[in-house]
Amino acid sequence: MPNTLSPEALDRLDAWWRAANYLSVGQIYLLGNPLLRVPLTREHIKPRLLGHWGTTPGLNFVYAHLNRAIQERDLNTIFVAGPGHGGPGVVASSYLDGTYSEIYSAIDRSEDGLRRLFRQFSFPGGIPSHAAPETPGSIHEGGELGYALSHAYGAAFDNPDLLVAAVVGDGEAETGPLATAWHSNKFLNPVTDGVVLPILHLNGYKIANPTVLARIPESELFDLMRGYGHTPYLVSGGFDGEDPRAVHERMAETLDTILDQIDGIKRAAAAGELEGRPAWPMLILRTPKGWTGPKEVDGHPTENNWRSHQVPLSDARDTEAHTAVLADWLASYRPEELFDESGAPIALITALAPLGERRMSANPVANGGLLRRDLRLPDFREYAVEVPAPGATVAEATRVLGGWLRDVMVANPTDFRLFGPDETASNRLQDVFEVTDKQWNAEFWPIDDDNHLATSGRVMEMLSEHQCQGWLEGYLLTGRHGLLTSYEAFIHIVDSMFNQHAKWLKTSRRIPWRRPVASLNYLLSSHVWRQDHNGASHQDPGFIDHVVNKKADVVRVYLPFDANTLLSTYDHCLRSVDYVNVVVAGKQPAPNWLTMPEAIEHCTRGIGIFGWAGTEVVGEEPDVVLGCAGDVPTLEVLAAASILRNRIPSLKVRVVNVVDLMRLQSEGEHPHGLNDREYDALFTTDKPVIFAYHGYPWLIHRLTYRRVGHDNLHVRGYKEEGTTTTPFDMVMLNDLDRYHLVMDVLDRVPGLAAKQGAFRQEMQDARLRAREYTREHGEDIPEVAEWAWSGSPGAIRLDSTGGDNE
C-alpha cells in the first residue's frame, strides 16, 4: 500500500527542493554573495548569463522524491536527466548529498564553497550547463536531445537490481530517437535486467513553442503510453499558486504505487509466475515550466511560459529592475532557513540524502569504469584461416569473426552484448546464434523458433541504429562491453550520437575520478564496394570522414583486408578502453593474403610493405609505390601489381598496405601517426604514389598533406558513382579497378607513357571489354571473377587484345 508522508518527511522534501532550486538559480546568475548576506548588486551577478532554468525545478522535484524512495526501500538507482539543459539541478543535488564536495574538495560545504560552485557554472574554465562528464552520477549529458531512454535501457541490461529513473523532457519527446525508444521495454528481461522508470516531464514548452505531448488531450496521451506498453500514472500540480507541499504529497503517494508495482513484477518474474510481457509503469509529471520562478518579467508571463526556458532575467546585471526581481526570486526560497552560518546545508536537508553509494550521484554504476572488468577473450589465433600462399584461400572475413565472437559470448555471459539493426546474420555473424539468442519480450509465435528469439539473449536487434547505439553507449558507460554492427552506408544515422559520445570520452579522459570505460566498437560491413546488388542508396563510405574530425586521442579507424587481419584487429579493439574504434570489413568471399603470424605483425605495425607483392630490388629505390587501404582496394592493387610484374618486369614496384588509417597522419596530429622518417621510408619523397582507398579519396590527401611527397600522391577511391551492377563494374565506375591503376602508373612514372602507349591502350580496352561483358552476361568477366594471385613472373600475361593467358 502507498505510504503516507509524515510531516517530517514532507519538510525534508520541501527543504531539499527549495535548496536545490536556490542553488540552481545561483549557478545561473551569481558571481558572489552566494547567501545574500548583503543586498544584491550588479557586481554579484555574472556578466554573461548562460544556462537553462525552465526544466530545472522539475528535475529537482523528481530527484528529491527519488532520494526519499531510495532511503525507504534501499534502492540501487541512477538518474538520467534527459533535459540535459537542467545541468544546474543535477549539480545542485550532488552538492546537497555531499558527493560534489567529496570529488571537488575546493567546493566544500561553506559559503566560499557555494561561491565557487556558483562561479564555475557556464563560466570560462568552469563546467558546462549540461549534466556533463564533470557532473557526478551522470551517464547522459543531454547536449543533444533524444537519447535519454536509450541510454537508460542500456544501463539496465544485465543489471537486475538497478532502477534507472529517466526523465524525458516533453521537447525531447518530439525527437525520432526518443519516440522510438519507448519500444525498448519489449527488449527488457524482468529477471536478468534492471528496470527503467520513464518520467515524462510535461512543462509545456520548448525554446519558443508549446510541446506536442503537453497539448494533446490527457486521454490521448494515456492511450499513447498504454500503446507503447506502459502503465501510465499522472502527477499534476504547481499551477495557479498551488501549495507545492500538496504536490509533494501526491508525488510521494504515486511514486510509492509505481515502486510497489515494479516490485510486484520483479517478484513474480523471479518466481516464474509472470505471464506475458509486463506493462511497466511510467510517470507523467505535469508542472509549470520555470516553476517557482518569476511570474512575469517586464509585463510578459514567464513562469509556465516559454520565456522561462533559458535565462528569464537576461538583464539582471544591467538593469536595476531586473536585479531587484532576481533578488526577490532568490529570497523566495528563504536561504537563511536552508543554510547555516557557515554556509552548509542544514541537517533537515542532508537527512534526505541516501548513504554512501546509494546516493545517485555516487552510484558506481554511473562511473562504469569502476565496475568494468577486462573481457575473457579466447585466443583469436586459434580461429585463423589457413593461408599456404597469398591469395591461396578464400573466406568471408566477418563470418570467421563471428565464430570468435560466439566464443567471446560464452566466456563473458553477463557483460558482453552484440547490438545491430536486424543485420547480425546479414553481416555474416550468425555463428553467435549457436550459443545465444536475440533478446525479445514482445509476442512469440511458433514460427519464431527458427529466428533465435528469446526473453534472454546476448544479441540486441532493433531496426533503429539510434536505439542500438544508445543501448550500447548506456551499456558501456555502466561498465560493460559490446560492439555495434551496421551496414556502412546507414551508420550515418547516428553521426550526431557518435559526436556526443566522442565528446564525452574526450572530456572524461581528463577527469581523474572518471575511470576508463570499454571502447565503443563499430563493425561496418555490407560496405560500399560490395553493395552492388542494392545499388547507390547503400553505397556511402563517408562515416570514416566524419569520425576523423574528432579528437585524435579518441578515434581509431581500421581497414582489415582479410579474415586474419580482422581477427587480430578486433581482438585489439575489444581490449581497448576510452576509444571509438571504427572497423570496416567485407562479408563477401574474398582472398586471404596473410598468415596469422604475418597478420599480427602487420596489424601491430598498422602499415607495411607487401614484399611478396612488389618487384623492387633490395638496396634500390622503387620506381612507383602502390598504396592501398581496404579489402577491395587491396585486391585491385595486388591485381594491378601482378599485371605490371608480368608486362614490365623491369619496373620496380612497391606495394604498401595500410590497415590502421591514422598511421598516415603525422605523429604530431595523431598518436598513431608515423613520423616523417618512417613515412618517407615507405612512400619515398619523390616517387609517384598511386593509392587505392576504400572511401572518399580526399581524406587520404587530408591525412597526408604535410608529408614531403604529398605532391606525388594520386588517390583513387569512391567518388559517388554507384548503381546496381557487378562488383567489378562498381570499381570501374569509380576508376579504382586494376586496369585503371595500371594506367595511373604508366601516366605518372617518368618515361613510361611514351614507351608503353600500346600497353596503356590494352588497359583501356580491357575496361571496355569488362563492361561490355557485364552488360551482356550480368556478371563479371571471367578474367576478373576467377583471378587469383600468382607471384611467378609470366604466370599471367595479357595478350594483344588485353585478355589473360595462363
Q: What is the pLDDT of residues 659-687, one digit of tens each?
A: 999 999 999 999 999 999 999 999 999 99
Of the candidates 726, 771, 786, the residue with the CA atom closest to the CA atom of residue 533: 726
Sequence-separated contacts (24+) of 647-650 with Cβ below 8 Å: 647/759, 647/797, 647/798, 648/752, 648/756, 648/759, 649/615, 649/793
Burial zone of 382 (CB within 10 Å; 0-12 exposed, 13-18 middle, 19+ buried): exposed
Which residue has cell 563473458? Answer: 412
Map residue 713 onto helix, strand or coil. strand
- State the Cα–Cα distance between residues 278 and 74, nearest whole angstrom: 23
The pLDDT score that the predictor gives to residue 675 is 96
Alpha helices of 509-595 — where are they, by DSSP H? 543-547, 563-575
* pLDDT score recorded for residue 722: 84
pLDDT, position 307 = 86
pLDDT at 309: 86
pLDDT of res. 3: 55
DSSP string, 629-674: ESHHHHHHHHHHHHHHHHH-TTS-EEEEEESBGGGGSBTTT-TTPB
> Which phi and psi angles does 400 have, rounded to 5°?
-65, -45
Q: Which residue has the cell 540486441?
A: 460
Query: Range(s) for CATH 3.40.50.920 in the chain?
Result: 606-805
- How far apart CA 401 and CA 567 sit, in angstroms, is 6
**pLDDT (0 to 100) of residue 806:** 25
In the chain, CATH 3.40.50.970 covers: 7-367, 390-590
Q: What is the pLDDT of residues 45-63, one digit of tens each?
A: 999 988 889 899 999 999 9
Fold of 606-805: Rossmann fold (3.40.50)
The rounded distance, in Å, linking the Cα atoms of 228 and 188 is: 14
In terms of Cβ atoms closer than 10 Å to its own Cβ (0-12, 13-18, 19+), residue 131 is buried
- Identify the CATH assignment for 390-590 out of 3.40.190.10, 3.40.190.290, 3.40.630.10, 3.40.50.970: 3.40.50.970
> Which superfamily does 7-367 belong to?
Thiamin diphosphate (ThDP)-binding fold, Pyr/PP domains (3.40.50.970)
280's CB contacts (< 8 A; 6+ apart) are 185, 188, 195, 196, 197, 229, 230, 231, 262, 265
Predicted pLDDT at 796 = 32
Q: Are 562 and 592 in contact (CB under 8 A)?
A: yes
DSSP state of 626: E
Question: Within 10 A of 637 (CB to CB), how many other CB atoms are there?
Answer: 29
Task: Look at the alpha carbons of 659, 664, 668, 669 in this order and tell me if their dihedral is positive or negative.
Answer: negative
Q: Residues in the chain with pLDDT < 50?
A: 1-2, 792-806
Question: CB of 421 within 8 A of CB of 524?
Answer: no
The answer to whether 692 and 636 have CB atoms below 8 angstroms apart is yes
The whole-number pLDDT of residue 265 equals: 98
In terms of DSSP bridges, do strands 689-693 and 713-716 run parallel, antiparallel, or are they unpaired?
Answer: parallel
C-alpha to C-alpha distance for 438 and 124, rounded to whole angstroms: 47
0.75 exceeded by the pTM? yes
Mind giving me the DSSP string for 396-440? EHHHHHHHHHHHHHHH-TTTEEEEESS-TTTTT-GGGGGT--EE-
Q: Measure CA 12 to chain center.
A: 39
Query: What does the H/E/C string look like for 768-783?
Result: HHHHHHHHHHCCCCHH
